[in-house]
Amino acid sequence: MTAPNHYHHRLLPLRSNVSTPAQLPPKLPESIPLAPPLPFQYHDGPTPLLPVSYTCPSSGHLIMTVPIVNGSASVTIHAATKTLLDDTITFYSNVLGLALHSESSDAVFLSNKDQKITIKIVVGSGLSADEVAHKKAALAKRLNIDDWRTSESSVVFRSTNLNRLIATFQLSQLPVQVNPNELYPNEVYTIDPVGTLIGFTACANPLTLVPPVEKYNPVGAESTAVSASVSELSRGDEGVKPRRNIAVMTSGGDAPGMNANVRAVVRAAIFRGCKAYAVMEGYEGLVRGGPEYIKEMTWHDVKGYLSEGGTKIGTARCMAFKERKGRLQGCKHLIEAGIDALIVCGGDGSLTGADLFRSEWPSLIDELRKNGDISEEKYQKHKHLNICGTVGLIDNDMATTDATIGAYSSLDRICKAIDYIDATANSHSRAFVVEVMGRHCGWLALMAGIATSADYILIPEKPSSSQDWQDQMCKIVSKHRAKGKRKSIVIVAEGAITSDLQPISANNVKDVLVDRLGLDTRVTTLGHVQRGGNAVAYDRFLATLQGVEAVKAVLDCTPDTPSPLIAIDENKLVRKPLVEAVKITKSVATAIENKDFDKAMSLRDSEFCEHLSNYMAMNSANHNEPTLPVEKRKKIAIINVGAPAGGMNSAVYSMATYCMSRGHTPYAIHNGFSGLARHESVRSMDWLDIEGWNSIGGSEIGTNRQTPEDTDLGMIAYYFEKYQFDGLIIIGGFEAFLSLEQLEKARPMYPAFRIPIVLIPATISNNVPGTEYSLGADTCLNSLMDYCDVVKQSASSTRDRAFVIEVQGGNSGYIATCTSLISGAQASYVPEEGISLDQLELDIRSLKESFATERGLTKSGKLIIKSTNASKVLSTQVLADIIKYEAGNEFDTKTAVPGHVQQGGLPSPIDRTRAARFAVKAVQFVEDNSDLLADVKYSPDFPSDDKKLKATAVVLGIKSSHLRFSPIRKLYDFETELGRRMPKKIHWATIRDVADQLVGRTRIERPVV
């Protein structure tokens, strides 16, 4: 149809009574071509002649519009007068490229090509022209103060060129807000002629992310009909949370991973529609105030933070904040900056100050109001301050959490140093005394002692008299030497004391070893080396997830909510009361000062006590009498199955030494089940032969992928019977899982398998059902982190270059996802999702925009992580070629394949210490269940369906916040996808979401299979 003549004149330049904001100068992007004005024409049907150009009378600039809407949507808006109707038709025709479709007596319908979007303009209702002008002026006034999305209902469309839209709105003198910033726009918002807030996004499925605080609903207006690709989130007044201005601060001693925490807080806050701030120099910056110390942070301000040690926003001791006057100044400066939520990353002292600050906040802000330092409006707006704590502390002495940010990085420095010292000590047959940090907590010394098989450790929680520790240490070291050990390592926490609170220094220990044993002894004090350097993979991972969770916590908090502390329990992030955590932490130091050492130990978490007990047991393997009577001693075998993984040797060493301390006989089955069936490769283990295995990568007893059924099940049963094994510990990945199932299934036929069998998961793929963590995964992530940092440095140096990095993992995307998180990769592709062309197209477009906005900047290298099995069609090289071709000449693309580097290297401290914990637990399981199976071992009618007997063949794993034994039969039958060699439940899906959110990646949702 042909449009009625009385609509032809309506295609006029956009007009607005609001002037262009000063910070958005009117300018045209270079990509908009200049051409003579063309008359707008209607043709038969709904499709207008495009492109359309017109001249803006206010600026004289030529505007060229293109069709930008793509999606299915129906929207109803309201125009109170014919003039507003004309302006609205002009607006949507110019901006969205719509044409008149039809009209009725009370409404006009606009649509685009194929009628994929329809806008219905209802005449006679809605805001008046004055109300619209007032609303525009109010939005312009709040431009740099509030996020418009939090106060107005909005309709969001898809746009293929946000920069063009920004230029169009600027030239038309319309108020425009860009999120997160104009340099790298993700969303653009303005207001149409009838007062509707409209937004544009490059997402394939646009959704408004932040619900409005107030729903603007003009009298008589109908509810807007919105389809899946155009959303209006207005839930009324109930349940809608106001937007927050969130500040992050690092305080106390610096710790590796603090920068990752700051980055996560800033980007998570921006992602959720909040403003992010950084308080520079800790509490000192809070007291001094001003834009120099309380800075608004943008998305790009934290670029590169992941790979840097220390804290880039600074930390400092502040005596002024300990006084009320200093806290009053801090309160004033936060209010001046508009901040109503504070996230503090620091130790117990920093978090104590933060909670005190919050408790005093009502009286502080009231005093400021009475003194006239703040207005009544600001008083009402900032009556409450929400605070959340994340613990950045290398000592790991915060109660209620298993790990603190920086602790494992510090432990990694210590273990590497001792590994190096170990070689020198062995060469010269020397003793070394290594002093590590830990004033009131011996966690670093304890975990280093386990990870490096140190001869003796001194920690503040377990002191003895001056004479006792000297006698005990000399006894252990001399017996180790008598057994043939050439070196001696003693680790001393800086807070080590005697039972009468006298400090024990490294030099004291040295003197004892020299004077009483005549050993050539050296002292090494690691000092602040323990704090320095980049964070290890675990600390980047922990700091990032805790930062995101902290933002969620302050958004969830109410004035009555106690200040939370983001803690980790086994493998799960949890919120704990900050006051309680600090109170327990301080109680430990108080108990030590009061010589109540039993209470100090009871206040430590159960994992600390468990590690200490394990260390003492393993360390007594060759110098104390076994703790079990002869009749309870067992023959326990251990075997590695599958690919090598970091921590396998640590598990074998820990199992053997713990068995020796208990009186059991440990056997190693070399080269897997095939080695047993073909070569009877069974050897009992001697203490000296396995000395030092903790710090060796690979598998010293060998491993292969063959399962019992792949070799000879009957021959394996024969050798089990020959050696009279009372228990079996299997270490490995999915092949080990299958082996456990086959042995359990064969129990009715082969009595030799009627023994307790435990699987300790060990695979970089982390794909064993029954656990969320497998040995070797952390070692692999550390190798990949170092690899990605180097590759990213190369990409940044070359400029305009992206690398596609191929990682292992089989059909599991765990390694790819975690590598993406800890390296800050722009995208990752995993087997669970595959690589869709739509997603690839979106990622390439994002890369092009990112390179365009960051051209000339440092640290602009980009990474894309691809799991080997992510696609059967798109290999790593093909994927890189596609990206390079689609990028034109805008950036280059290369490939990088670390290969088996991911499996090798020294095992990380996490894998060493967890291997020890798992191994001891496995031996204890064999002890607890041997009698149950002994009663039916040779029964002709073996009750294979008995639940208790089924529960004697298990997988030992971490599930959420628990360490659990899961029966293999249940896991195999109900929780395993055999064809894909994967558990049915993907436990790391939320990690994937966080990784994408923090790099601004839009992911087309596909079900994770």
**pLDDT tier at 6 (50, 70, 90 boundaries)?**
very low
* Residue 663 sits in the same domain as residue 700: yes
488 or 135, greater pLDDT: 488
Residues 6+ apart with CB under 8 A from 650: 451, 693, 694, 775, 907, 911, 912, 913, 915, 916, 919
* Residue 17 sits in the same domain as residue 47: yes
The secondary structure element, H or E, covering residue 698 is none
Q: Which residues of 648-658 are buried (b: 16+ CB within 10 A; e: fewer)?
A: bbbbbbbbbbb
Q: Give residue-wise pLDDT tens across range 193-248.
A: 888 888 887 665 443 333 333 222 222 222 222 222 222 222 233 334 456 899 99
Q: Alpha-carbon torsion 923, 928, 930, 936, what sign?
A: negative
- 253 is known to lie in a ligand binding site: yes
- 902 is known to lie in a ligand binding site: yes
Quick check: is 553 in a domain?
A: yes
Please report how many Cα atoms fall inside a 13 Å half-sphere around the Cα of residue 32, on the Cβ side: 22
CATH value at residue 962: 3.40.50.450
Scan for tokens 């939090």, then name that residue: 150
Quick check: is 696 in a domain?
A: yes
Q: Give residue-wise pLDDT tens across range 661-703.
A: 999 999 999 999 999 999 999 999 999 999 989 989 999 999 9
- 310 is known to lie in a ligand binding site: no
Structure tokens at 299: 């998305």
* CB distance 97 to 47 below 8 Å: no
- 489 is known to lie in a ligand binding site: no
117-121, 386-390, 605-609, 752-756: least confident range: 117-121
Confidence at residue 825, expressed as pLDDT on a 0 to 100 scale: 94
- 900 is known to lie in a ligand binding site: yes
Quick check: is 620 in a domain?
A: no
Helix axes 876-886, 837-854, angle to 10 degrees: 60
Please report how many Cα atoms fall inside a 13 Å half-sphere around the Cα of residue 380, on the Cβ side: 3
With H, G, I as helix, E, B as strand and everything else as coil, classify residue 136.
helix
Q: Give residue-wise pLDDT tens across range 12-29.
A: 333 333 333 333 333 333
Confidence at residue 219, expressed as pLDDT on a 0 to 100 scale: 28
- 288 is known to lie in a ligand binding site: no
* Helix, strand, coil abundance in the chain, percent, nearest 5: 40, 20, 40
* Residue 152 sits in the same domain as residue 107: yes
Residues 6+ apart with CB under 8 A from 633: 626, 662, 663, 664, 665
Confidence at residue 405, expressed as pLDDT on a 0 to 100 scale: 96
* CB distance 984 to 977 below 8 Å: yes
Scan for tokens 């802000």, then name that residue: 365
* Residue 484 sits in the same domain as residue 337: no
Confidence at residue 601, expressed as pLDDT on a 0 to 100 scale: 87
Q: Give residue-wise pLDDT tens across range 411-468.
A: 999 999 999 999 999 999 999 999 999 888 999 999 999 999 999 999 999 998 889 9
65-79, 229-243, 374-388, 601-615: least confident range: 229-243
High-pLDDT (> 90) share of the chain, %: 58
- 766 is known to lie in a ligand binding site: yes
- 793 is known to lie in a ligand binding site: no
Whole-number Cα distances in Å, 558 to 234, 340, 673, 761:
21, 12, 59, 42
Residues marked as catalytic: 395
* Residue 13 sits in the same domain as residue 160: yes
- 531 is known to lie in a ligand binding site: yes
Structure tokens at 202: 């490059």
Quick check: is 234 in a domain?
A: no
With H, G, I as helix, E, B as strand and everything else as coil, classify residue 984.
coil
Question: Span 886-892, mean pLDDT?
Answer: 87
Quick check: is 718 in a domain?
A: yes
* Residue 177 sits in the same domain as residue 137: yes
* Residue 65 sits in the same domain as residue 157: yes
Confidence at residue 58, expressed as pLDDT on a 0 to 100 scale: 35
CA distance 790 to 780: 16
Residues 6+ apart with CB under 8 A from 114: none
Question: Span 748-766, mean pLDDT?
Answer: 96
124-128, 769-773, 974-978: least confident range: 124-128
* Residue 139 sits in the same domain as residue 78: yes
- 375 is known to lie in a ligand binding site: no
CA distance 756 to 727: 5
With H, G, I as helix, E, B as strand and everything else as coil, classify residue 142.
coil
- 439 is known to lie in a ligand binding site: yes
- 834 is known to lie in a ligand binding site: no
Phi/psi for 398 (5° steps) reads -85, 125
Confidence at residue 209, expressed as pLDDT on a 0 to 100 scale: 33
Quick check: is 175 in a domain?
A: yes
Sheet with 117-123, strands from edge to edge, namely: 73-79, 117-123, 107-111, 99-103
Question: How many structural domains is the chain composed of?
Answer: 5
Whole-number Cα distances in Å, 459 to 439, 455, 556, 591:
9, 14, 40, 14
CATH value at residue 900: 3.40.50.460
- 329 is known to lie in a ligand binding site: no
| Amino acid in the structure at residue 162 | L
Whole-number Cα distances in Å, 921 to 625, 917, 957:
21, 6, 11
Quick check: is 240 in a domain?
A: no
* Residue 318 sits in the same domain as residue 195: no
Residues 6+ apart with CB under 8 A from 5: none
High-pLDDT (> 70) share of the chain, %: 86
Task: Give a three-class secondary structure readout of 765-828.
Answer: CCCCCCCCCCECHHHHHHHHHHHHHHHHHHHHHHCCEEEEEEECCCCCCHHHHHHHHHHCCCEE
* Residue 28 sits in the same domain as residue 169: yes
- 810 is known to lie in a ligand binding site: yes
Question: Span 147-153, mean pLDDT?
Answer: 72
CA distance 865 to 791: 12
Q: Give residue-wise pLDDT tens across range 263-315.
A: 999 999 998 889 999 999 999 999 999 999 999 999 889 988 999 999 999 99
- 705 is known to lie in a ligand binding site: yes
Whole-number Cα distances in Å, 222 to 75, 76, 86, 104, 193:
11, 8, 20, 17, 18
- 297 is known to lie in a ligand binding site: no
Question: Span 174-199, mean pLDDT?
Answer: 80
- 610 is known to lie in a ligand binding site: no
Q: Give residue-wise pLDDT tens across range 30-73.
A: 333 323 232 222 233 333 323 333 333 333 333 333 333 333 35
- 350 is known to lie in a ligand binding site: yes
* CB distance 53 to 62 below 8 Å: yes
With CA atoms as reference, report the closest residue to 644 among 408, 415, 905, 868.
905
Confidence at residue 968, expressed as pLDDT on a 0 to 100 scale: 97
CB under 8 Å, gap of 24 or more: what pairs does 933-940 form?
Answer: 933/754, 933/755, 933/756, 936/754, 937/751, 937/754, 937/755, 938/751
Q: Give residue-wise pLDDT tens across range 155-176.
A: 777 776 777 778 777 777 788 8
CB under 8 Å, gap of 24 or more: what pairs does 162-167 form?
Answer: 162/186, 162/187, 162/188, 162/200, 162/201, 162/202, 163/29, 163/31, 164/29, 164/31, 164/32, 164/66, 164/68, 165/68, 165/95, 165/200, 166/24, 167/26, 167/27, 167/28, 167/29, 167/32
- 767 is known to lie in a ligand binding site: yes
Confidence at residue 203, expressed as pLDDT on a 0 to 100 scale: 63
- 586 is known to lie in a ligand binding site: no
Residue 936 per-residue DSSP state: T
- 764 is known to lie in a ligand binding site: yes
- 438 is known to lie in a ligand binding site: yes
User: By residue range, what is the domain housing residue 78?
Assistant: 5-201
Mean pLDDT of all residues belonging to the chain: 84
* CB distance 720 to 752 below 8 Å: yes
| Amino acid in the structure at residue 626 | P
* Residue 689 sits in the same domain as residue 763: yes
- 754 is known to lie in a ligand binding site: no
| Amino acid in the structure at residue 621 | A
- 317 is known to lie in a ligand binding site: yes
* Residue 188 sits in the same domain as residue 252: no
- 903 is known to lie in a ligand binding site: yes
DSSP 604-639: S-HHHHHHHHHHHHHHTTTTS--SS-GGG--EEEEE
Quick check: is 549 in a domain?
A: yes
CATH value at residue 56: 3.10.180.10
Confidence at residue 317, expressed as pLDDT on a 0 to 100 scale: 85
Confidence at residue 102, expressed as pLDDT on a 0 to 100 scale: 80
